[in-house]
Chains A and B, each alone.
Chain A
Amino acid sequence: MKPTDQQRWWLLRMAWTQRPLLEKMTLFWHGVLVSSYRKVGGARAYGRMMVQNQFFRAHAFDTFDNILLGITTDPAMLFYLDLTKSTKKAPNENYARELMELFTLGLGHYTQQDVYEAAAALTGWHVKGSTSRYLPRDHNDLTKTFLGQTGNFDYKDVVRILANHPATPWFICRKLFTFFVYENPTSDDLRPLVDTYVQSGHNMGQVMRTLLLSPQFSSTKAYRSRVKSPVEYIAGAYRALNVQGSGDGLPNISLLMGQTLFDPPNVAGWPGDKVSAVWLNSGTWMTRLNYIDLLLSRGTFTGRNRLSPIDLQGIVDANNIGSPEHFVDYFTSFLLDGVVDKERRAQYIDFFTTKDTSRGNAHITLKNGQSYPLNRVRGTLYLIMASPEYQLN
């Protein structure tokens, strides 16, 4: 399966799933515990990314220990961060370092010596065919001193010590909070999540439950406080407009918006997951607008797979939309949660009702019998989905 087919598959799955939170959590883990198809053992091994993706989905709300154990021994990860090349005599530092810096503790909580010791403890895992396996005879069984503890440690000990380290819940809960709520959370914001992590035996489902029920999650501060990621924007618009397509072309659009699934820019994941402002620049902004234009008015993804634009007359008829006001209210009710102030609502209605001529005199007829130029009707929906509000979560 080519990477673009994998990307298309996942984007459509996100658009049509009955469990959006599960897909979002899977995306969260993909952006934290990073691998990329570019380094999983060559083109014939791209399927390893799908194995990893299914792992994240199956264990999205498992304990952090299980998630770390699974990803440490995941074939794609073993390749991506070189653990498969690490040997008893010559431990490779790469996975050990990123495991601490980017997956669990963060800089400042470990030394270069801890990197050496963890690398030695992690030896023994290798990719064999489509799976991974542990070779005890290739495990370095000298005594290690890792983060202040001494023993003949192996990969399970490394994961245990890291999952129980006091810095870990703060690190992972900060990432989770930033991804789902808002940026720069305070210690007070994070403490309930950290407490849940400790009390629940590191259960991420319980942590997520605490997060979703927290006053912060439903606060005004959290509302429209993050720029949607390209993937959220693409899947969200696709689902909202009920686009029935093969998803051809979506991977390239996603790339131009700055996010390629199964290929984060580096092991630190997408910078936009941390600071969502970086998703937006003039180039990616125009790609967002052109994507909406494509769904609404062009309806074609590639030369060989032509789709129709959305059937706006059908939507108007099916929902008995009887006035320009009704049209704006109908679409903003689910695209902007109905949160539109009077002045901005008036701007949409203004655009809708301005006299104009559509090419070929195409028009849309509302239930009140009045016809309006197609470009004005469609343009109003475009404005809603291109608006500042719709760029934000």
Chain B
Amino acid sequence: MKLTRRAMIKDGFLAVSAGMIMPSIFSRGIASARAQSIDGSRVAQMAGDRTLIVVQMAGGNDGLNTVIPFGDPLYHQMRPTLSIPDTSVIHLDTRLGLHPNLAPLKQLWDDGHLAIVEGVGYPNQSLSHFQAMDIWQTLDLNGTGNQGWLGKLVSGWVDQDGHPFKAMDIGVQTAQALASISAPVPTISSVNTYRIYPDPADVDNGNARLQALMKLYNSYPETSPYAALLDTTALSAQDGSKQLRNADAQYQAAVTYPQGPFASKHGKADNVVVMTWSEFGRRVEENGSQGTDHGTAAPMFVMGNTVNRGTFGEPPNLGNLDNNGNLKYTTDFRSVYATILDRWLGASSHDVLGGSFGSQNFLPQP
């Protein structure tokens, strides 16, 4: 898991990111959000210069072979070919261990910067990838929501300079979690392509042409389908591209996350929390193709200097499965979101999530 910021931007890493380590952009966006919150901004208040990185493992990550209950004989019995032998498991304690490919996470664990939340899920899973992804991102348990939880969060942030970089999305498709009805989040595949090229025959760097174009967008009849989308997209692109290039020109060090001193080269070691999620885990018992079918509950990782090391939530019981042979979830995913919102982002989880779902102690009370 070597994520350099450049690699993520260059390769369009599948990640949802509500804030990256891009100091000149985010300190300002977040600081001004805090200033605005005093005047009563809608949803979020920032407690300080803090960044949340959300990593989606799409496709249903096999939770049981990621965080392995190696001490449970049922684990080995039900996965005769797929279980990881005890000798290869990276032991965290007497009960749980990590997959051998996750050695860098062991270092974070030893440094006290890794939390594992066990048994995370929600009621009545349909075992559909797509409904599950919808639910995790929009919080609508019917899977018909259209606004993402992070999109709802950042749409409440107001940057007094009007800059769009309150959050950003790496890739070519805006992640559903960041979908916002009122404030589209910039979606970037690379710094180089996030710009509007001028006509080489222009002597004003394309300025007049861009102004004429913006006028065409601005005057597009408001009643037409997508008028607002087109207009805000154009504005966000025009402004954001300038800002991103300025920030990139000032950026120098390439740092590997989460290895080494976590983001410390930026002096931001205490300012970043990483959360991972996948729409579901896999079935406990392996299938006949040396694989696993769709499952339910799975663990989540939360990483960062401020994170309390340990296991949270409740271990699911491999001996008490549902009718399909899947784990019964023990921890509502919204309690993880709530913890991050309340204790890290200084937001009101009740407002963002639309209810109270409890919390986990992987972050200290603010």
Return chain B residues, CB-CB under 8 Å to A225: 225
Return chain B residues, CB-CB under 8 Å to A382: 199, 209
How far is it, in angstroms, between the C-alpha of A92 and the C-alpha of B202 when the chains are bound? Answer: 60
How far is it, in angstroms, between the C-alpha of A63 and the C-alpha of B311 when the chains are bound? Answer: 54
At the interface with chain A, which of B19-27, B112-120, B289-297? B289-297
Q: B201 contacts which of A86, A286, A359, A383 (Cβ < 8 Å)?
A: A359
User: Could you mark each residue 232-248 of chain A with 1 if its beta carbon is under 8 Å from any beta carbon of chain B, else 0?
Assistant: 00000000000000000
User: Could you mark each residue 165-194 of chain B with 1 if its beta carbon is under 8 Å from any beta carbon of chain A, else 0?
Assistant: 000010011100001000011111100011
B129 touches A293 (CB 8 A): no
A258 touches B173 (CB 8 A): yes
How far is it, in angstroms, between the C-alpha of A290 and the C-alpha of B197 when the chains are bound? Answer: 6
Q: Is A333 an interface residue (CB 8 A)?
A: no
A89 touches B237 (CB 8 A): no
How far is it, in angstroms, between the C-alpha of A102 and the C-alpha of B173 when the chains are bound? Answer: 21
Return chain B residues, CB-CB under 8 Å to A389: 220
B187 touches A286 (CB 8 A): no
At the interface with chain A, which of B66-74, B228-236, B248-256, B342-350? B228-236
A391 in contact with B230 given A290-B196, A297-B199 (CB within 8 Å) = yes
A97 touches B294 (CB 8 A): yes
Which parts of A342-388 form the interface with B (CB within 8 Å)? 343-344, 347, 350-351, 354, 356-360, 362, 373-375, 378-379, 382-383, 386-388
How far is it, in angstroms, between the C-alpha of A202 and the C-alpha of B199 when the chains are bound? Answer: 51
**Taking the nearest CB of chain B, how far is it from the CB of A176, in angstroms?**
19
Q: A293 contacts which of B197, B225, B227, B237 (Cβ < 8 Å)?
A: B197
A374 touches B201 (CB 8 A): yes
B225 touches A281 (CB 8 A): no
Q: Is B240 an interface residue (CB 8 A)?
A: yes
User: Could you mark each residue 111-132 of chain A with 1 if its beta carbon is under 8 Å from any beta carbon of chain B, else 0?
Assistant: 0100100000000000000000
How far is it, in angstroms, between the C-alpha of A344 and the C-alpha of B217 when the chains are bound? Answer: 10
A281 in contact with B219 given A85-B289, A90-B287, A374-B201 (CB within 8 Å) = no
A284 touches B187 (CB 8 A): yes
A268 touches B129 (CB 8 A): yes
Q: Is B163 an interface residue (CB 8 A)?
A: no
Among A225, A265, A283, A379, max chain B CB count under 10 A is at: A283
How far is it, in angstroms, between the C-alpha of A240 and the C-alpha of B283 when the chains are bound? Answer: 51
Q: Is A166 an interface residue (CB 8 A)?
A: no
How far is it, in angstroms, between the C-alpha of A297 and the C-alpha of B206 when the chains are bound? Answer: 12
**Taking the nearest CB of chain A, how far is it from the CB of B299, in angstroms?**
22
User: Could you mark each residue 232-268 of chain B with 1 if its beta carbon is under 8 Å from any beta carbon of chain A, else 0?
Assistant: 0110110011000000000000000000000000000
Among A101, A343, A379, A383, max chain B CB count under 10 A is at: A379
Q: A347 contacts which of B194, B216, B225 (Cβ < 8 Å)?
A: B216
B164 touches A280 (CB 8 A): no
Return chain B residues, CB-CB under 8 Å to A68: none
How far is it, in angstroms, between the C-alpha of A97 and the C-alpha of B229 when the chains are bound? Answer: 35
Return chain A residues, CB-CB under 8 Å to B288: 86-87, 89-92
Return chain B residues, CB-CB under 8 Å to A350: 212
Return chain B residues, CB-CB under 8 Å to A93: 287, 293-294
B200 touches A281 (CB 8 A): no
B186 touches A379 (CB 8 A): no
A347 touches B196 (CB 8 A): no
How many residues on the A side are at the interface (Cβ–Cβ under 8 A)? 70
User: Could you mark each residue 266-277 of chain A with 1 if its beta carbon is under 8 Å from any beta carbon of chain B, else 0?
Assistant: 111001000001
A297 in contact with B233 given A282-B240, A392-B226 (CB within 8 Å) = no
A92 touches B126 (CB 8 A): no
A358 touches B172 (CB 8 A): no
A383 in contact with B199 given A82-B289, A265-B173 (CB within 8 Å) = no
Q: Is A159 an interface residue (CB 8 A)?
A: no
Return chain A residues, CB-CB under 8 Å to B225: 224-225, 392
B287 touches A383 (CB 8 A): no
Q: Is B213 an interface residue (CB 8 A)?
A: yes
Minimal Cβ-Cβ distance residue in A for B170: A283
Q: Is A285 an interface residue (CB 8 A)?
A: yes
Q: Is A326 an interface residue (CB 8 A)?
A: no
How far is it, in angstroms, between the C-alpha of A374 and the C-alpha of B202 when the chains are bound? Answer: 9
A386 touches B224 (CB 8 A): no
Q: Is A94 an interface residue (CB 8 A)?
A: yes
Q: B219 contacts which of A282, A289, A343, A358 (Cβ < 8 Å)?
A: A343
Q: Is B131 an interface residue (CB 8 A)?
A: yes
Q: A267 contacts which of B129, B185, B196 (Cβ < 8 Å)?
A: B129
How far is it, in angstroms, between the C-alpha of A39 and the C-alpha of B104 when the chains are bound? Answer: 28
Return chain A residues, CB-CB under 8 Å to B2: none
**Taking the nearest CB of chain B, how far is it from the CB of A265, in angstroms?**
7
B187 touches A383 (CB 8 A): no
A85 touches B291 (CB 8 A): yes
**Taking the nearest CB of chain A, how far is it from the CB of B123, in angstroms?**
15
Q: Is B101 an interface residue (CB 8 A)?
A: no
Return chain B residues, CB-CB under 8 Å to A280: 226, 229-230, 233
Return chain B residues, CB-CB under 8 Å to A289: 196-197, 213
Which parts of B298-346 form the interface with A (CB within 8 Å)? 323-324
Q: Is A203 an interface residue (CB 8 A)?
A: no
Q: Is B91 an interface residue (CB 8 A)?
A: no
Q: A282 contacts which of B186, B215, B227 (Cβ < 8 Å)?
A: B186
How far is it, in angstroms, between the C-alpha of A297 and the C-alpha of B199 when the chains are bound? Answer: 6
Minimal Cβ-Cβ distance residue in B for A362: B201
Instruction: Give me 5 other A-B pairs in contact (C-beta within 8 A), A282-B241, A283-B194, A286-B237 excluded.
Output: A107-B131, A258-B172, A266-B58, A281-B174, A286-B194
Which 6 residue pairs spanning A and B have beta carbons closest together? A90-B288, A282-B237, A85-B289, A375-B201, A281-B187, A258-B172
Ordered by A's residue number, 21 sampled pairs between the chains whose C-beta atoms are within 8 Å are A86-B289, A92-B288, A92-B293, A112-B127, A224-B225, A258-B173, A266-B58, A268-B129, A268-B130, A282-B236, A282-B237, A285-B237, A286-B237, A294-B197, A298-B200, A350-B212, A359-B200, A375-B202, A375-B209, A378-B199, A386-B216
User: Chain B: residues with CB nearer than 8 A to chain A?
Assistant: 58-59, 126-131, 143, 164, 169, 172-174, 179, 184-189, 193-203, 208-209, 212-213, 215-217, 219-220, 224-227, 229-231, 233-234, 236-237, 240-241, 287-289, 291, 293-294, 323-324
